[in-house]
Amino acid sequence: MAVRSFRLQVNGAERVVQAEETTPLLYILRNDCDLKGTRFGCGSGQCGACHVLLDGASVPACDTPLWAAEGKAVVTVEGLGQGVALHPLQQAFIDEQAAQCGYCLSGILISAAALLEQQPHPTETQVRQALDKHLCRCGSHNRIVRAVLRAAGTCGTAA
């Protein structure tokens, strides 16, 4: 495959990168855009650690080829807040002490943001279903769910 230029909208800023079209979006975000919040987990789109918003939908960046992100809005965990202000989800996760090791949290925050954009006041069951594909080995699931429900009381928009 040939290397070519791609224009991306990442966290509200235009980025131009040079890569092959099948390069995983995750590699571009971490290596070219220097956004390390999106984690590499399994590499096959099954653990949820690498999720980003792509035009508002939570997708695994490890399994999304660069060509699929061209011309779309990409939001990483770094793009959830505004400047130094935390996103309501980020604040709720702090308030509920929902993080332990934190490896899975960037993907969980992204999927929670997508959920709250679609369903501003979800039920506990809806939160659990939206986060079901995210693997967390620390066992802080109940605190994570409480944090999402807490943020639902303050979130106007998800991203």
Look up the CATH number of the domain holding residue 146: 1.10.150.120
Domain assignment present for 158: no
CA distances from 39 to 26, 82, 89, 98 (A): 8, 21, 18, 18
Res 82: pLDDT: 78
- The CA distance from 104 to 48, in Å, is 7
Are 8 and 75 contained in the same domain?
yes
Are 67 and 23 contained in the same domain?
yes
Are 146 and 96 contained in the same domain?
yes
What CATH number is associated with residue 65? 3.10.20.30
- The number of domains in the chain is 2
Are 45 and 7 contained in the same domain?
yes
The residue range of the domain holding 41 is 3-79
| Mean pLDDT across the chain | 92
Domain boundary among 51, 79, 107: 79
Contact residues for 50 (Cβ-Cβ < 8 A; gap 6+): 26, 38, 39, 40, 41, 60, 61, 62, 107
CB atoms closer than 10 angstroms to residue 120: 13
Domain assignment present for 157: no
Res 155: pLDDT: 60
Domain boundary among 61, 79, 97: 79
Give residue-wise pLDDT tens across range 48-91: 999 999 999 999 999 999 999 999 999 999 999 877 889 999 99
Q: Is the pTM higher than 0.85?
A: yes
